[in-house]
DNA sequence: GTATAAACGTGAGATATGTTACATTTGTAG
DNA sequence: CTACAAATGTAACATATCTCACGTTTATAC
């Protein structure tokens, strides 16, 4: 884990919201900002621990994990560069992390002091609106997943997930899933064995090709069809 | 459906966020505010239609419904007085309602013009922070539901739902569910028949009593136990 | 009150998924 | 390279839930 002391003013990877801030406001942000590098598998923050920061993912993939019944993990989402984590903690009543964040690939994040961040929201309404917008982009994903996980069967959920990773996360066709079968299972709420079975089905039917962790979607139309009820 | 022209300044049912506004700001709000009464079953706004308002529930119960695959309804949540609906639409990219809102009981709402609302967020950062807080209270409910719906079996999900209504929604023990079996099914993602069966089981085991729509939780401990994996 | 539709209860059979168990492959540290 | 741990593939069986089917009850409209 490497720590850099950096300057928000000169930062070249500003989020859409932060780019609305002026020089003086960036200095406020900078006061409570530290940039840190995490290796694959490292814990960025842990569910239940007190939250003092908003976490901005500069680059990399992060899984957000919440413990369910019997301590069984559920992956709320896979977040990529440009996302804010822990905005929930702006709510003064709940200052504990609601989920854990774990690096799935090497990941660079900024920890932004929560009080500095709140100060900026208070001062700059346009900034606040932009932040609210990004919150809702995420929220809609949760809605989708809620509905899909409940209404779809496993093949549909897996098809969904594969298309999501291909289109939204990586934006390229042969792509590296970066997740183990156990993680995929925790993502769509099933068992490792079932994921394995359906993966095999998809391969047998020539819908996908999968060697090592490299996945190629061969028949996107068919995958879309399964997703819409197959 | 009755329309009243009212004054936000004199309103006696202000939300926590709105009570942070001063006289002048309330006048801005009032400009784009109309109070409307809906009967049970009436549609407040419809999924997919253009959104021009933030909806504030003054009083009553509202179900938020989203169409899933095959047009099958899923109830995202049951919202009660004091909630804002459609804050998603503050995001300028998505100005269509993401779900339908339907009155479950007689309901009184205020429609707040979205541009007026945005103007207030822009002007008053404390207001913005308060609004963000309420957003996340909701969001955490969605997280819970996402995890529970995926990891729990039907008895657990139903137990959850009953306890939620008893504690969070009505805050009293013999309570009126106000939902049909079909609606409960859409809420926990199953079929009407399955809900019916589990209801019966709960009654046979003396956990709940149910006459007409009136429900009494007789053995809360047992219900809690089922919820935590029964 | 009567008619009609909506909501509900319940059984039998079909099926998707969970569970258990074990063999095999892959990754990793030394 | 070796040894050990982690991840994976796969089969057989158990089970929760869905689906279909039909009869009954309850609400609603006229």
Query: Cβ of B212: how many Cβ atoms within 10 Å?
Result: 7
B17: three-class secondary structure by DSSP? coil
Q: How confident is the model at residue B109 (pLDDT cuts 50, 70, 90)?
A: very high
Q: How confident is the model at residue B6 (pLDDT cuts 50, 70, 90)?
A: low
| Cα-Cα-Cα-Cα dihedral sign, residues A199, A204, A208, A212 | positive
> Tokens representing B131?
């609004």
Average pLDDT over residues A173-184: 92
Separation in Å: C7 C1' and A226 CA: 33
Q: What's the pLDDT score for residue B230? A: 54
B199 is near strand C: CB distance < 7 Å: yes
Q: What is the tens place of the pLDDT at every residue in B154-181?
A: 999 999 999 999 998 899 988 999 999 9
pLDDT beyond 60 at B117: yes
Q: What's the pLDDT score for residue A230? A: 54
For A152-174, the three-class secondary structure string (H helix, E strand, C coil) is: CCHHHHHHHHHHHHHHHHHCCCC
**Distance of alpha carbon A63 from alpha carbon A75, whole angstroms:** 7
B107 is near strand D: CB distance < 7 Å: no
- For residue B72, the chain A residues in CB contact (below 8 A) are 151
pLDDT beyond 60 at B4: no
A212 is near strand C: CB distance < 7 Å: yes
% of chain A residues with pLDDT over 70: 97
Average pLDDT over residues B29-36: 85
List bases in chain C with any atom under 7 Å of a protein Cβ: 7-12, 16-21, 26-27
Q: What is the tens place of the pLDDT at every residue in A8-56?
A: 888 777 777 888 888 888 888 888 888 999 999 999 999 999 999 999 9
Residue with smallest Cα–C1' gap to D16: B153
Residue with smallest Cα–C1' gap to C17: A194
> Is B142's Cβ below 8 Å from some Cβ in A?
yes
- pTM value is 0.89
Q: Could you please report the per-residue DSSP string of chain A?
A: -EEE---TTT-S---TTGGG--HHHHHHHHHTEEEEEE-TT-EEE-TTSB--EEEEEEESEEEEEEE-GGG-EEEEEEEETT-EE-GGGGSTT--B-SSEEEESS-EEEEEEEHHHHHHHHHH-HHHHHHHHHHHHHHHHHHHHHHHHHHHS-HHHHHHHHHHHIIIIII-SSSEE----HHHHHHHHTS-HHHHHHHHHHHHHTTSEEEETTEEEES-HHHHHHHHTT-
For residue A143, give how far its alpha carbon lies from the nearest alpha carbon of chain B (Å): 8
Residue B164's alpha-carbon distances to A132, B65, B149, in angstroms, are 27, 18, 14
pLDDT averaged over every residue in chain A: 88
pLDDT beyond 60 at A4: no
- Least confidently predicted of A173-187, B81-95, B198-212: B81-95
Q: How confident is the model at residue B152 (pLDDT cuts 50, 70, 90)?
A: very high
Query: Of residues B11 and B198, which shows the higher confidence score?
Result: B198
A230 is near strand C: CB distance < 7 Å: no
Average pLDDT over residues B180-206: 95
B51: three-class secondary structure by DSSP? coil
Helix axes B125-151, B154-164, angle to 10 degrees: 150
Question: For residue B65, what is the nearest residue in chain A, using CA coordinates?
Answer: A147
- Least confidently predicted of A89-93, A119-123, B188-192: A89-93
pLDDT beyond 80 at A121: yes
> Is B194's Cβ below 8 Å from some Cβ in A?
no
- Surface of B (1-60) touching A: CB under 8 A: none
Query: Cβ of A169: how many Cβ atoms within 10 Å?
Result: 16
pLDDT beyond 90 at B145: no
Separation in Å: D25 C1' and B179 CA: 17
For residue B84, give how far its alpha carbon lies from the nearest alpha carbon of chain A (Å): 14
pLDDT beyond 90 at B223: yes
Q: How confident is the model at residue B28 (pLDDT cuts 50, 70, 90)?
A: confident
Contact A118 B124 (CB under 8 A): no
Query: Of residues A212 and B152, which shows the higher confidence score?
Result: B152
């Amino acid at each position: 884990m490497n720590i850099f002391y950096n300057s928000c003013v000169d930062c070249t990877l500003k989020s859409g919201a932060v780019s609305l801030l002026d020089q003086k406001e960036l200095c406020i942000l900078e006061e409570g900002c530290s940039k840190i590098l995490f290796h694959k598998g490292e814990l960025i923050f842990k569910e239940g621990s007190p939250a003092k920061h908003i976490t901005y993912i500069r680059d990399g993939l992060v899984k957000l994990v919440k413990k369910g019944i019997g301590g069984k993990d559920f992956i709320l989402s896979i977040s990529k560069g440009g996302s804010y984590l822990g905005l929930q903690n702006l709510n003064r009543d709940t200052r504990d992390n609601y989920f854990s964040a774990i690096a799935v690939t090497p990941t660079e994040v900024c920890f932004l002091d929560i009080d500095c961040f709140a100060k900026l929201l208070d001062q700059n309404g346009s900034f606040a609106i932009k932040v609210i917008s990004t919150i809702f982009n995420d929220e809609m994903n949760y809605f989708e997943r809620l509905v899909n996980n409940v209404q779809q069967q496993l093949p549909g959920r897996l098809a969904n997930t594969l298309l999501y990773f291909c289109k939204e996360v990586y934006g390229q066709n042969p792509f590296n899933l970066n997740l183990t079968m156990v993680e995929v299972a925790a993502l769509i709420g099933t068992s490792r064995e079932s994921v394995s079975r359906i993966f095999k089905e998809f391969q047998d039917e020539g819908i996908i090709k999968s060697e090592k962790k490299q996945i190629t979607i061969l028949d996107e139309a068919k995958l879309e069809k399964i997703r819409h009820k197959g």
